[in-house]
Amino acid sequence: MSDAVINGIFVLSGVFLGGLISWLTSFLQFRQERLDKYLFVLLEKRFEVNQEAYLFSEELKSIIHANEADRNTTIGKIQKWYNSNHLYLSPSVRMTFKESVFEAGTYYLRLDDYRSTGREKGWDAKETKQKRDELIEIFRKITSEMQSQIEKDIDEGYWRKINRKV
């Protein structure tokens, strides 16, 4: 073959290879930008859902001593919200959220049991004191554990992911 043909093949190979490298670089850059946008949308939604969960924890605090109808209505609303949004919450927040809602829903039963035991066995009885301590622990869980878990999740996970991109 002549030198001109060989040089032409090398030039065409170089152009093809250069185009391929340029296209591959553009494709990878586009893919990374798309993933970054997806991550930010997901983080924004997770932040919004965590904020709503935090507000629902405040609502749980206010209903544990409410009448049964109000308590059931609020817990039903919270459970409906949870079923629609729980995948945006971290596993630890999910677990704490479900437990807190359950504890808020059954708190009045435990409170009635405590009062009944206190009246029957006396307020200074060991069993009565044990039930009171359990109520205090459940109240603490309802009123602070979920919020603490949400704050921890946001502080440790959310901001680290945001800082990765900045």
Q: Is pLDDT of 139 > 50? A: yes
Q: Please state, in angstroms and as integers, the Cα–Cα distance from residue 107 to each residue in 143, 157, 159, following that order.
A: 12, 32, 35
Question: What does the pLDDT look like over 73-126, one tens digit per residue?
Answer: 999 999 999 999 988 888 888 898 898 889 888 888 888 888 898 889 888 889
Rounded distance between C-alpha atoms, residue 130 and residue 109, angstroms? 15
Domain ranges of the chain: 47-165
11: Cα within 13 Å, side-chain hemisphere = 6
| Rg of the chain, C-alpha, whole Å | 29
Phi, psi of 64, rounded to the nearest 5 degrees: -65, -25
Per-residue pLDDT tens digits for 61-86: 888 888 888 988 999 999 999 999 98
Amino acid residing at 142: I
